[in-house]
Amino acid sequence: MKSRSKELIDKAIAATVSAIEVYNKAGFQYRAETFCILAINGWELLIKAKWLNQNDNKIQSIYVKETRRKKDGSKSKKLRIKRTRSGNPFTYSLDYLAKKLIEQGHLEQNAWANIQALLELRDSSVHFYNSSPNFANKLQEIGTASLKNFVSLVEEWFERDLSQFNFYLMPLSFMELPTQTNAIVLNNEQRNFLNYLEQLETGADETDPKYSITVNINVEFTKSKTNDALGVRIVDSSNSNAPAVRITEEDVLKRYPWDYKTFINKCKERYSDFKLNKT
């Protein structure tokens, strides 16, 4: 039987993988907003899994306690579990548990700042004011860093290898054609968010190479110089999880542009005693 923390980590991974799959569907409406909601769900489950693991898997450790009121109105010394509207136990928030883990040295500030940025995007998604192209761009930068941090913490905290999953967001360049505009007018909410993100990035720990607040993705499109260019795919046969590397003919020619004739002429120019063997 799985421990409670292991059950939560499985759900955290499932939620995050679902967020990626939805985001990478180019024609899926509301995909960016859905990514935020599911990604935060994944983070909350991961943080709670870590907290349970730190507290011997005692479910009471994630329940919020509150003081009782006596019949005379005074506060009792006994604590009781706070309940939701349906009567279920009220659990600690992501914010509360994350700060506790930071105090204990289990969570880095950069990782938490990234989660805060994602939380703000999630909240703005729920309140439906994400019409600006800036939202899509910032979401990808924050989301990419979030996935990178998530994979690192799952491995660090639970020794789980997530290489079987594709933890990558499809670059916007592949899904949306770039449009040229002279200026983008921001409303107050969008301006507030960008200012908030700038504050988070200003406070980043530059000495921490493992965790990031945002990650930029640069995609370059080039026109093939030959219609029949062939590609070469290189894989590591000893490791089935190793990423494949694809090299096109254009890539080779860009790095090694000389043909045989050009190479011989260059050698003759450089070496006075150069001789060519007869074949």
Question: Distance (Å, rounded) from C-alpha 93 to C-alpha 210?
Answer: 25
Q: Which two tokens stand for residue 68?
A: 């009782």
Whole-number pLDDT of residue 105: 94
Whole-number pLDDT of residue 88: 95
Question: Distance (Å, rounded) from C-alpha 233 to C-alpha 252?
Answer: 13
Whole-number pLDDT of residue 91: 95
Whole-number pLDDT of residue 239: 54
* Spans of the chain below 50 pLDDT: 173-175, 177-185, 219, 221, 226, 228-230
State phi, psi for 36 to the nearest 5 degrees.
-60, -45
Q: Which two tokens stand for residue 207?
A: 């000495």
Mean of per-residue pLDDT scores for the chain: 79
Contact assessment for residue 63 and residue 90, using Cβ atoms and an 8 Å cutoff: yes
Whole-number pLDDT of residue 18: 94
**Which of these, 101, 109, 103, lies nearest to 211 by C-alpha position?**
109
Q: Which two tokens stand for residue 103?
A: 């105090």
Whole-number pLDDT of residue 61: 95
Q: What are the extents of the domains in the chain? A: 4-202, 231-270
b/e per residue, 166-197, with b = 16+ CB within 10 A?
A: ebebeebeeeeeeeeeeeeeeeeebeebeeeb
For the whole model, what pTM was predicted? 0.69
Could you please report the per-residue DSSP string of 178-208? Answer: ----S-----HHHHHHHHHHHHHHHT--TT-
Whole-number pLDDT of residue 79: 87
Query: CA gyration radius for the chain?
Result: 26
- The dihedral sign for the CA sequence 195, 200, 205, 211: negative
Whole-number pLDDT of residue 126: 65
CA 259 distance to own-chain centroid: 43
Question: Distance (Å, rounded) from C-alpha 138 to C-alpha 97?
Answer: 26
pLDDT tens-digit series, residues 72-102: 777 777 888 999 999 999 999 999 999 999 9
Whole-number pLDDT of residue 255: 74
CA angle 145, 146, 147 (to 5 degrees): 95
